[in-house]
Amino acid sequence: MFPYDFRFIPKTPGGDRDPLNVLVLMDKPAFTGCLVHTRLIGVMAAKQSERQNDAQ
């Protein structure tokens, strides 16, 4: 669960061929499909993996 909503940036394939995700922090809510002008303030690189069950 994330504290804010996030979406993806169309036509920006990452290493796994999925679009890159974006988190936009705003003071006011937006609606689906609206265009929001933003500026980049940081980047976080992460690798998705599955958790192994230690009980096995």
pLDDT in tens, 33-48: 888 888 888 888 877 7
Give whole-number Cα distances, 37 to 24, 30, 40, 42, 55, in Å.
10, 12, 10, 16, 48
Q: Which residues 6+ apart lie within 8 Å of 26 measured at CB?
A: 36
Q: How far is residue 19 CA from its own chain's centroid?
A: 9
Torsion, CA 34, CA 40, CA 45, CA 48, rounded to 10: -10
Provide the pLDDT for residue 3.
58
Provide the pLDDT for residue 56.
52
pLDDT band, residue 49 (cuts 50/70/90)? confident
Instruction: Give the type of residue at 21.
Output: N
pLDDT in tens, 11-35: 888 878 888 888 888 888 778 788 8
